[in-house]
Structure 1
């Protein structure tokens, strides 16, 4: 449990750090630099050069969709962070995987979790009178959530190709290659400025290497229910990080909206845990 907590803290600290970097570098450049360094760090951590011999057997369509979803998810989320408080951006993005899980439920009684999720999203909309919410930011955050759902969907397909977790290395590397030309066209001077590379490397470690390593370790000891429940706390951790590090204050209504989204996620985690036949206490995540 401690590993999961540290993992979430590292990821949300990375989001706060990214918002700080946006004062000197645009979100597109920050995303591209993070993807580039993350691909290097994850490849070294997993020693992914061992799968080069298997590349000719890869189903590239699924891998490219997986990579494109990962890249778009990061790009849209970082652009949303410019326009929204961190907790709101994470809460709205969380709707993506939550919606994917909700589609898997079969009992009519589970409609309660759909209602909680919908209440949370509706209360976070700009029409609720929130001065710190923009429609563009909402669209970008929800788009990042949709890409997150696609990332999970195609990740499950890719990981079955006998690549194991090396599929993440390939996905991040391909995403970096896809977005690098766009980033250079957008701001080549910023991306090629080595003074930002140290910040980008630190961001990649906080956002990718540390959470990824700790999640893998935690999955050895936590069952799916515990893992899903802890992951559901991400919006609250993000909101607290935004409050403490970025002085982003949320209204009581916004906190209640995040609570509804988290409650829906916890509820669906419990439902899926007892609904899906268990093959073991541990699991894998992409």
Structure 2
């Protein structure tokens, strides 16, 4: 009896975590897209790769100061996953920041979304899940096709960012499950910074010396497009699976297009607005499919989700 009562009590935080997932993902997307707009606005003074390097370097420095990870307490298998995530972070940052230098932010974020959406389709086990993911994918493709002229290099960079984003989603969830705190993310950011910081120093030292204000921009981009989004991602991926996460990310093009219009005056066509509406509808549908059953639906009074409360 006591075990049943305890199960009922512990099921509620998990449900609350699932219910909060769309809000957390929307916060992550908004922060990321605003950071991307700030970064793109600074491209007249500093290159995309250099900004990507500053983004990861500042993020790693802040996380190390806040978390203070203890390397000796990290097991070998934890190191492997955290380092893998760091490598993917470095590649994803460079690919995406280069992509938005050739494409509108809304289009670039749409291309990057192809990775998580494809992952969602592969992981779909119900017809409704597959339909929601395909609806979001249709909106993504419609948004991309509606652009009047797309740079081939920008498209290739966007596809590379998409592949990295899919790997990032899987690895970020694994790191979140293997580490009880934020040490894994801190290690991953440090690895990515170690890869990109030398590139930044070698390619844009003179630019930084001539325009020291770009360091402030780099810090802002680090907070908005790395530190806050990655932390929110890990928080969400501790609560929902990668399939649901991939579909929720379908809100990225809508937010990216809105931010691009508000900050960089990147205009939308009617066709692009319709495509974004499809993506939003697919995300809302996916969220409704993932609602847990009511507590009274089980004879024992416990939720079917109870066995999955602790993913670690």
Which band: TM-score by shorter chain? 0.7 to 0.9
Q: Is the 8 A contact 2:45 2:207 kept in 1?
A: no
CA distance in structure 1 between the partners assigned to 2:290 and 2:196 by the alignment: 35
User: For residues 64 and 155 of structure 1, do their structure 2 counterparts lie closer, same or farther at Cα, with a shift above 3 Å needed?
Assistant: same
Q: Find out whether 1:48 has 2:60 as its counterpart.
A: no
Q: For the residues of structure 2 that align with 1:40 and 1:189, how far apart are their CA atoms?
A: 22
Structure 1 gap segments, 5+ residues each: none
Distance 1:70 1:273, change over 3 A: farther
Structure 1 length-normalised TM:
0.80
Out of 267, 270, 281, the position equivalent to 1:249 is 267
- Hey, what does 1:11 align to over in structure 2? 32
Distance 2:56 2:193 in 1: 5
Aligned pairs for 1:201-216 (under 5 A) are 201-211=219-229
- CA separation of 1:142/1:3 partners in 2, compared to 1, >3 Å: closer, same or farther? same
Contact 1:27/1:78 (<8 A) preserved? yes
Deviation at 1:59, TM superposition (A): 4.1
Q: C-alpha displacement at 1:14, in angstroms?
A: 0.9
Shift of the 98–280 alpha-carbon distance from structure 1 to 2, 3 Å rule, reads farther
Confirm or deny that 1:174 pairs with 2:191: yes
**Correspondence for 1:183 among 200, 205, 210:** 200
Give unmatched runs, 5+ long, in structure 2: 1-19, 294-303
More divergent stretch after superposition (137-146 vs 111-120)? 111-120
Residue 97, structure 1, aligned to residue 116, structure 2 = yes
With structure 2 as the length reference, what TM-score do the two structures score? Answer: 0.74
Provide the C-alpha distance between the structure 2 equivalents of 1:214 and 1:120, rounded to a whole number of angstroms. 25
Structure 1 SS opposite 2:74: helix
Task: Number of aligned residue pairs: give it.
Answer: 276
Q: State the partner residue of 1:134.
A: 151
Greater CA drift, 75-84 or 60-69: 60-69
